[in-house]
A and B are shown apart, each in its own frame.
Chain A
Amino acid sequence: MKRGLPGWARRLRVTLWTLIVPPTTWAVHFLFSYLWASISCAKVGAFATVPVLFLIGTILALIVIAASGWIAWMQSRTPGDAPPHQDSTDVDRLRFLAKSTLLLSGLSFVGVVFTALPVVFIGDCR
């Protein structure tokens, strides 16, 4: 099962902080989108037809979320004791946090996509 888990990813420790990386990324992206839209609408009067800055921000956010989800997925497969994986051991705690992080990256991914959609469909400031 170790195949595919690069050394650096295995060395990364899972903590409460890593758990909130995906949703924090969503939050930053959300705030960025909102500020970007309201500032460009208020100060420029309209936003660009091809919003490059917005595109870069969104792709960046998706990459961060996907990466942390991928790392979490790898870590959630750390071999250890038998299922149901709910004992007071290092491995079970690691797997639990990794799995929760994975779920959260799924949710955050959807959240970021949801946030990006209006730009595609609305595309002006009215």
Chain B
Amino acid sequence: MSLHAQDDPELRRAQEERLRAVWAPPQGLFLRWSDTNNDRVGVWYTLTAFAFMLFAGVLALIMRTQLAAPDNDLVSANTFNQLFTLHGSMMMFLFAVPMFEAVSILILPQLLGARDLPFPRLSAFGYWSFLIGGVFVSGSIFFNAAPDGGWFMYPPLTTRTDLSGLGADIWMLGLSFIEVSSVAAAVELIVGVLKCRPPGMRLNLMPLYAWYILVVAVMILFAFPPLIAGDILFEMERLLNWPFFDASRGGDPLLWQHLFWIFGHPEVYIIFLPSIALFAMLVPTFARRHLLGYPWIVLAAVGTAFLSFGLWVHHMFTTGLPKISLAFFSAASEAVVIPTGVQIFVFIATLWAGRVVWSTPLLFASGSLAIFVIGGLTGVMVAVAPFDWQAHDTYFVVAHLHYVLIGGTLMPLFAGLYYYWPMITGKKLSDRLGRTAFWMLFIGANLTFFPMHFSGLEGMPRRVFTYPAELGIGGLNLASTLGAYLFAAGVAVICVDLALSPRRAVGKRNPWDAGTLEWVEDPGDDTHWGVRCVPLVTSRYPLWDQKDFVKKVDEGRFFLPDAEEGRRETIVTTVLDARPLSVIRLGTPSFKPMLTSVALGGVFILTTYHLYWAALVCGFATLAMVLWWLWTGTAEIPEKECKPIGHGIELPLYVSGSSSPGWWAMFITMMADATAFSGLVFGYYFFWTRHDDFPPEGMDAAPGMFWPLVAMGGSLASWAVTVAAREVHARGGVGAARMLLVAGIALSAVGVYAGLAGPWLAGMDPEAHVYPAIVWTLAVWTAAHSGVAIIMMGYTLARSLAGRMTPRHDAEIRNITVYMHFLALTAVVTYATIGLFPEVA
């Protein structure tokens, strides 16, 4: 036995004491809600999403009860509209996506052997936004004010304020707020997977769950922003009467359908891939062997992610688009079957090649795959345009979508629940109750949704609150309703199982004998540090393959076993090869995230009720909160340059630029921002292709070339000046860099002024026609971004003046440069579009 510092039990105990103290959750009835540690926030998040699922399920039961018999009058048509809209929207926005984020926040750090994700406070912010927005949206049904336009909210019925009430605003603004938190979580997860892996865990050793999370989070980044862009246009129409979707003033309702489904189809995969990811963790465990074909899974995940963005128009087959365009999307729809099939075959092959241990989680997994495959088959049917023309908007589609969602999302999550419950609580759930519940769910789901194929083909349209007895579909509907009750009873059995859990005894650690990192920690004791020490990983299943792995972790023999300075820390590594780069200090419990989300929630909620001044106040409060949060919590200059993490390795405590998580977060956020922007630009060119009167006679000269070109020049100059400031600053020219920042502020101000002056001085009236409306939208978007640039440069200047930014510690200026790159791009596209394009076209 070699002599190693960790051989000293005294030292180990002292280290554990320090770690325990640093990671201790805040106590007390009130303070506990300031927690930001992933093990708490993740649990809150999961429970909240689960509760929303139950609520949405109750809404579904009411609907099914109404539909049990022909000509039933349990609920009115109006209530029924609210029921299905809220059921669908909640299931998609308040359950499926947040659940994936919740589960990932909970288990990803463990899976990566990290103490926490890089931005714990951002997770907390996301959680509080989700809670506030979710309660706001779902609570509306108790005031008879729930949205009633269906989960895809097609205009013009929903944009005309005389035909739809407050509900539409609640949907748009409430869910936009939640989308913000989804994007925040995506940023957190991407940076977590890329930068917080343990040393040695190269890309080819990453747990498959992490691969899927990476892919799904990237998909969120490209799928949600177009919807946010759509929401913006939608609310401009409802609140300000800008006619984006109003055909009588040059608008087009189809634009909404495009923006919605560019989000809506990938969404289906966004909620399906994480479930597959759970399978990828539990199948090897129960097959007792490595997963076969690791690169094939990566192919499947990445391939599905890409192809799924080429499918959106298959939801629009009946809108009268040219057949040639439909055909492209039909082709892509068939192509996506390839990667989807690959994943399923990889699992089957792995089970085939292994020694299978039949367990409750595996039972759920295989049952849900069976259901999913039926949904996949009907999916291929509706992807064939002529069939879709027949089945569109009938119960056939309702059957298809629920097979996919229940087999692809709900049941896999139950598999994950049974699998991971012991990891979180240390206790196993009951096998007997689990199996009972499984069979009730399995039979219930089939009994509910299989008959719907036939009621659909018999001619029952979806979204009807009742149907005449003469249609002869009473029996089929009764069967569906009975199935729904059986299904609900199955869910109730699971809830009972969960409720009994606190009374059960703590079981043994790693009860399934899994091989992956998340099982290293012992959930039985009261530690909250994530991992005792950050391990060195040299295998895909370290618990199986690396000798004495768990013991070494327990004894703190790997990296960062201590918290000498009393700070929460984790290791940051390189993207490809997970070579250690630095130690970062993590955010500690704080109320700032919660207060920020309250302020931001105020903006959205007050706008819903047209209380614009109060909303504006909340907007300023949000800005102030964010600045305070950043000022006090980020890019702190450490008390020393480096610190040892054990085994003779010293790592810096401060990094900036592309090796720091903050830089990545900025980069990724800007990708989302650029995607939202392209949604708006798409709108402009969409109108141009579809309407010959765009720009209309008499308006085609506005806003002219002069002001847009001045704005473009100003923005590009402020970009150049920022890049110069970064370079000068890095070479020690602090004073010069400050001057350049001041110049940058002035130039951005030119961007704001000239950008708005174009449409303003041309007297463009956005209510008159869609052309001025979309020009204004692009101009305002870009000017607002120039405004944000002013704030960022001011902030950076202030940091420099306060001595919080030096040539060695220059994260702020490097991060804002990333922002400026994207701003320059935005400005070029906007001003070329509104200033130059009308000349060319």
Contact = CB atoms under 8 A, between A and B. Distances in A.
Interface of A: 15-16, 19-20, 23-24, 26-27, 30, 33-34, 37-39, 41-43, 47, 86-88, 90, 92-93, 95-97, 99-100, 103-104, 107-108, 110-111, 114-115, 117-119, 121-126
Contact of B298 (A15, A100, A110): A100
Contacts of A111: 307, 310, 332, 335
Q: Which A-B residue pairs are the 8 nearest by beta carbons?
A: A118-B327, A96-B204, A23-B306, A103-B299, A114-B331, A93-B202, A88-B538, A100-B295
A43 B324 CA distance: 15
A114 B333 CA distance: 10
Nearest to A107: B303
A28 B736 CA distance: 42
Contacts of B299: 100, 103-104, 107
B689 A118 contact: no
Task: Determine the interface band of chain B, counting residues with CB < 8 A from chain A.
Answer: 35 or more
Contact of A30 (B321, B328, B539, B576): B328
9 contacts: A27-B309, A37-B325, A38-B321, A41-B324, A107-B338, A117-B331, A118-B328, A123-B324, A126-B323
A122 B815 CA distance: 49
Contacts of B690: 42
A122 B327 contact: yes
Contacts of B332: 30, 111, 114-115
Contacts of A115: 310, 328, 331-332
Contacts, number: 123
B334 A114 contact: yes
Contacts of B203: 16, 93, 96-97
B835 interface: no
Contact of B303 (A90, A96, A104, A124): A104
Given A37-B324, A37-B328, A119-B324, A30 B202 contact: no
A126 B385 CA distance: 14
Contacts of B294: 86, 96
B576 A23 contact: no
B307 A103 contact: no
B339 interface: yes
Contact of B204 (A41, A97, A124): A97
B302 A23 contact: yes
A10 B715 CA distance: 41
A86 B200 CA distance: 12
A16 B310 CA distance: 22
Contacts of B202: 88, 92-93
B576 A16 contact: yes
Contacts of A107: 299, 303, 307, 335, 338-339
B306 A125 contact: no
B310 A27 contact: yes
A57 to B, nearest CB: 13
A126 B203 CA distance: 48
- Count chain B CB atoms within 10 A of each CB in A33, A92, A107 and give the residue with the most: A107
Nearest to B306: A23
Judged by DSSP, the binding face of B is: helix
B774 interface: no
B302 A20 contact: yes
Contacts of A125: 322-324
Contact of B201 (A88, A123, A126): A88
Contacts of A110: 335, 338
A112 to B, nearest CB: 10
B281 to A, nearest CB: 17
A43 to B, nearest CB: 7
B389 interface: no
Contacts of B411: none
A38 B326 CA distance: 10
Interface string B197-219: 00011111100000000000000
Interface in B334-382: 334-335, 338-339
Given A88-B538, A103-B295, A41 B322 contact: yes
B115 interface: no
Contacts of A90: 577
Contacts of B306: 20, 23-24, 26-27, 108
A42 B252 CA distance: 15
Contacts of A39: 689
B473 interface: no
A92 B310 contact: no
B785 interface: no
B75 interface: no
B575 interface: yes
Given A38-B325, A88-B200, A115-B332, 14 more contacts: A19-B302, A20-B306, A23-B306, A41-B325, A93-B204, A100-B299, A103-B295, A108-B303, A110-B335, A110-B338, A114-B331, A115-B331, A118-B324, A122-B324
B328 A99 contact: no
A23 B222 CA distance: 15
Contacts of B539: 86-88
A119 B324 CA distance: 7
Nearest to A98: B295
Interface string B281-312: 00000000010001110110011001101100
